[in-house]
Amino acid sequence: MSFLDGNKFPDYMLLDQKVCQLASATETNILNHINPLNAEEEKKRFLQKHALGDEYNPRFAYAPRNPLYSYFSISPSFETHKKELNELLEDLGRDSLGLIFEKKILDLFERMELIKSIGTPNFSNNSGEYYGKVDRKTLKFAKELLSKKPKKEGNKVTFKKAKSMIDSFIKKKKLPYKVVQRESGGSKFSVNIRTKEIFINKDVQLTDSMVKRLIAHEIEGHAYRYENGLLQPYSIFARGLSKEGLETDEGLAITVEQKEKLNVDAQLREYAGRVLAVDIASRKNFYETFNALSDYFPKEDAFTITLRVKRGLHKQSEPGAFTKDALYLKGFLAVSKFLEEHSMIELYYGRYSVYDAPLVMDVDGLIKPKHLPECDF
């Protein structure tokens, strides 16, 4: 099937539909498959044994896998998707929009391989290939942040009060999102932009500062880019252009917190801990990684950070890391550098990276961002 029109130019609208169709068929939320179902039970068991001086590496249980992803290498669907994606690559132009679609298709190939390897000995290596590994500059910055003492987090608030603060904000901005309390996961807060849900973990002791940061990070940082992407003529601007987009997504969210002066030091310190955790976990098991992080964080926090970088691995008793958490600090540095010569509005036409921004700004017909943070640009 060709996507060229009568004049031999790519029909990008048709390409966009097909790419997004294939993305829906092949993509899944990786976190749904690597967040353990028994995290709380294993946390309790681990901390009890640790207090007695016993070395114990958790045994995590995961949700049943979608057969398509459990048996990706032998699934007829996998080969069909790869064939269709390769056909799309043949019809792309060499203009900015063509290069954007090419990046998206190549990203889908890599994402398939990562999903296929969850829970296998190859997962850590594939994670490093997809998300990248800890570089020297980011590690040095992380260690500098960890050397500083954390500041007080603010006044405690109930979940009801936190929900009221967030509901008031999203109502004011006319956004169709809702706040959901959930069982403990890998992060205290998160947003699912497609289901329009903002999640808060049940066991988090909330403060007013944390809630304000949540609004800045999850809504003004993440949700706004998605909502602006939905306004564009091509749906891939909402779905995301390339794997580097996640790095910018997280870095931009931290930047918004910083520009709104929301006690970002405490959160930066946690992101620094995640970078250190990825670096250590790539060489050590769960127990050893936890011990190293305990030098910087309370035991509860050290467990959570270790869990984040060890989830999805084949065995917790072996070295290896889910390297996504190193992106937060790396992205913050990349966005900070980008903003030395560019306006932040250039990152709000959809979900893409600072490296993709020049291509995006060269695309005709894009809609000016409707949703922008309440900070100085």
**Average pLDDT of the segment spanning 4-33:** 74
Among 23-27, 104-108, 218-222, the minimum mean pLDDT is found in: 23-27
**Average pLDDT of the segment spanning 242-252:** 91
**Average pLDDT of the segment spanning 268-294:** 96
- Do residues 217 and 257 make contact, with C-beta atoms less than 8 angstroms apart? yes
- Do residues 92 and 10 make contact, with C-beta atoms less than 8 angstroms apart? yes
- Report pLDDT for 152: 72
What's the rounded Cα separation, in Å, for the pair 58 and 365?
52
- What percent of the chain has a predicted confidence (pLDDT) above 90? 58
Whether the predicted pLDDT of 75 surpasses 80? no
- Report pLDDT for 314: 83
pLDDT, tens digit (0-9, with 9 covering 90-100), for 344-356: 999 999 999 999 9
Query: Please, which pLDDT band fits residue 71 given cuts at 50, 70 and 90?
Result: very low
**Average pLDDT of the segment spanning 266-292:** 95
**Average pLDDT of the segment spanning 69-78:** 54
- Report pLDDT for 284: 97
pLDDT, tens digit (0-9, with 9 covering 90-100), for 213-224: 999 999 999 999
Mean pLDDT in the chain? Answer: 87
Whether the predicted pLDDT of 118 surpasses 70? yes
Q: How far is CA 320 from CA 18, 126, 133, in A?
A: 36, 11, 11
- Of the spans 2-16, 252-266, 338-352, which averages the highest pLDDT? 338-352
Determine how β-strand 189-192 pairs with β-strand 197-201.
antiparallel
Domain definitions of the chain by residue range: 131-361
- Report pLDDT for 30: 77
Retrieve residue 84's tokens.
């269709």
Q: Specify the pTM.
A: 0.85
95 against 352, higher pLDDT: 352
Whether the predicted pLDDT of 1 surpasses 80? no
